[in-house]
Structure 1
């Protein structure tokens, strides 16, 4: 449906309010969702946790931030993003506060699971912004909203300093907790404030594209195989991003022996490009096509992860004069950080490219399709941290983290490339270099 240019211009101020406030709200929610990446280190010390136990603490939060993405996306289409997003902010404040009061590992697991609901805000924001923005601006708008992923770095910046500066006994006789517990308490307050700003600062007359539609009708696009293919792509660019955001601080501490505050800052160097370049990925997808951008993305992850998965050591040659060590390889912390930074660039651009497909192919079902893609992608963030831990435990090699990433990316790249080749065979020969195939048109 072609929209009236005059109406689009009249709605521009309201559209920008939705974009900016939803982006800020998503940034706060994302910070809450992944706060255990930094809090996990002092929590491990206080409760005496193993690496596997610690990995499950992050994993259960990621799990609950994945399970409801399709459902909340559908709710945003049916009842409006303003209502759904605001309610989510208020609800998430409750378990955030409870995390600050947890007294055992079992309580932490429960509250971490509940506070993980924050991660579902993504599908709400995607559906909400898709409803407000015209097709030719959706790539950039959804990319800018998705840049709220930078919230993963908020705790890494403020966490170590606040943990060190706030007394363990807290303030006001413990009413405001201290140490690591101050962080979730602070987030609980910010969530309530953001909920109020969201409700009173966005347009009351919201856009509700799914109003009145039957639920089965909204779920019908999920039968298309391309939806599930997009979901696997999103596991690579988002699920692995989430997993590494939570895993890297511990990796820096354990492998390179860095203090927590340095580990957190170096992890932020990965998080920034993986989050802030998302608008650029949306711009590239609008201009060059989402599939071509996905080719760039996969190669930018495969090459660095292929280097990072190499174990440290050297080749030994046996000669007549005895043995000789050659090709010694040792990963320095700066080379490691550079390669992880490159992976972050690929993921930041790739996340926008994946979601550029959705309003193009399923313009009336962004909530359901975007929710499913986001759900399965985020579930990758749930499974990967324990998989990293088990792979390391089985082999004794921390580099197995990046072997898992390399393998996952290779499988996704192969599926996409085989799909492209199959579609090229169905098209005219003059389209052999056209990745945005006309044969892969929306259903």
Structure 2
């Protein structure tokens, strides 16, 4: 049973300080999370790792992040978001130091497992912001915080430049410097949260029980599609674009990142509209729009021959590269709007357990991001149709939409009062 008593808001001056610092911590942590996706290629060539070893190296941060997210979410409920952030950032820094020091496969795996502590920043940041934000602007604030998920693609842009100009070891050092700066600013400029024992509304046992509540799992499904699906698609798109449209991998990666930008840009508008008209409505429209877009993307290239009166008529049905990029950008925008609405809905339904429920949502999204690329490959092998990637995402989106329509959300018709 969710607790819908809105938390007591704190002055806006504190929010002006806390939101940028929390967003910086979240963004940097997610950038570290995908560090192996870039430097891992250099490590594979230098240390002669096999394809299996390389795949395991890429997946370890996501696996550990997913495994750590629920317990860190519960610790957030117990200790408060600020304390967990101040613990996770040094742990992440130690993993970066280890990454620069080790020279064996086991050492790199250990460093990758340490990078998984970035998952704790999501639930801790959500819980910390709830203490300060005005309830009527929850969608906007949480949408701004959700921009931090863009750190997952930041390494694709910055690390190759640093690696080409200097060496890959400088990238972890740069991230370490940012983490140290953010940690010091959080320690100096922010105040400790009230002790959970001083807030009768917060019950740690209630937060733990919420993990097995049936009403929580639809949130995990929505986030598995919106966030886990977007991460899996970004990882898969470079190979898809290079195979279907004869682009180089570098060009495919660049177009993939550009298509992901609308997701970041639309999280805040999605949260703002949710504040005004309700989160369920925005989430419903985002999922319906995703279904339509994915249906168009799923249709494979087809050649039709119509036997006309005088001669056969040949038709080719396919999506050109400009139209594909336009559809992908639209899908990205819809998923970003849906994420902003989902975070607002999370606040509406679980204002006192955002850390615990958010941690479980992230764990499910990590599992989705890990499993979907594997399913993409299996679908290509068995169906021999490149667009089967979008067919699988269409099915996941359809299940998420049907779940939303069948689930009961008590706040569906309640709109936040705007000042």
Alignment partners' CA distance in 2, 1:14 and 1:382: 37
Q: Distance in 2 between matches of 1:42 and 1:313?
A: 39
Deviation at 1:51? 6.9
C-alpha deviation, 1:295, in angstroms: 1.3
Partner of 1:293: 282
Aligned-partner Cα distance in 2 for 1:334–1:50: 36
Task: Say how many residue pairs are matched.
Answer: 408
Give deviations 1:267-311, integer Å, cap 9, x for gaps: 222322212321111111111111101111112222222222233
| 1:334 paired residue among 322, 326, 342 | 322
**Alignment match, 2:412:** 436
- Whether 1:206 and 2:160 are equivalent positions in the alignment is no
The residue aligned with 1:140 is 140
Q: Distance in 2 between matches of 1:290 and 1:141?
A: 14
Contact 2:300 2:385 in 1 (8 A): yes
Query: Does structure 1 residue 160 correspond to structure 2 residue 136?
Result: no
Residues 435, 283 of structure 1: alpha-carbon distance in 2 compared, 3 angstrom cutoff? same
Q: Which residue of 2 aligns with 1:426?
A: none
Mapped pair 1:278 → 2:263 = no
Measure how far apart 1:70 and its partner are: 2.6
Hey, what does 1:75 align to over in structure 2?
75
> Which position in structure 1 is the counterpart of 2:178?
190
Q: Deviations over 1:321-367 (max 9, x none)?
A: 897642242x4332222221111101111112112122222222222
Change (3 A) 1:3 1:58: closer
Normalization by structure 2: what TM-score? 0.86
Tell me what 1:428 maps to: none
| Counterpart selection for 2:406 from 412, 418, 432 | 418
Q: Compute the RMSD of aligned alpha carbons.
A: 3.1
* Partner residue, 2:367: 379
1:70-149 to 2 correspondences below 5 Å: 70-100=70-100, 103=103, 107-149=107-149
Deviations 1:94-121 (A, max 9, x none): 2233334565656544432331221221
C-alpha contact 2:286 2:337 (8 A) present in aligned 1 = yes
> Contact between 1:87 and 1:195, CA under 8 Å: does it hold in 2?
no
Distance 1:211 1:47, change over 3 A: farther
CA change 1:223–1:2 in 2 (3 A) is: closer
What is the distance in 1 between the residues matched to 2:239 and 2:86?
A: 33
Query: In 1, distance between residues paired with 2:27 and 2:83?
Result: 18
The 5 Å alignment of 1:264-413 reads 264-317=253-306, 325-329=314-318, 331-413=319-401
Q: Is the 8 A contact 1:131 1:208 kept in 2?
A: no
The residue that corresponds to 2:58 in the other structure is 58
C-alpha deviation, 1:147, in angstroms = 1.1
1:263 counterpart = 2:285:
no
**Maintained 8 Å contact 1:60/1:382:** no
CA distance in 2, matches of 1:50, 1:397: 27
With normalisation by structure 1, the TM-score equals 0.81
Q: Report the 3-state secondary structure (helix = DSSP H, G, I; strand = E; otherwise coil) of the residue aligned with 2:303.
A: strand
Structure 1's unaligned 5+ residue stretches are 167-177, 424-433, 439-443
Query: Is the CA contact 2:238–2:256 (under 8 Å) kept in the aligned structure 1?
Result: yes
Q: Distance in 2 between matches of 1:165 and 1:372?
A: 40
Q: How far is 1:435 from its partner? A: 8.7
From 222, 227, 249, the counterpart of 2:216: 227
Moved more, 381-390 or 283-292: 381-390
* Contact 1:77 1:208 (C-alpha < 8 Å) held by counterparts: no
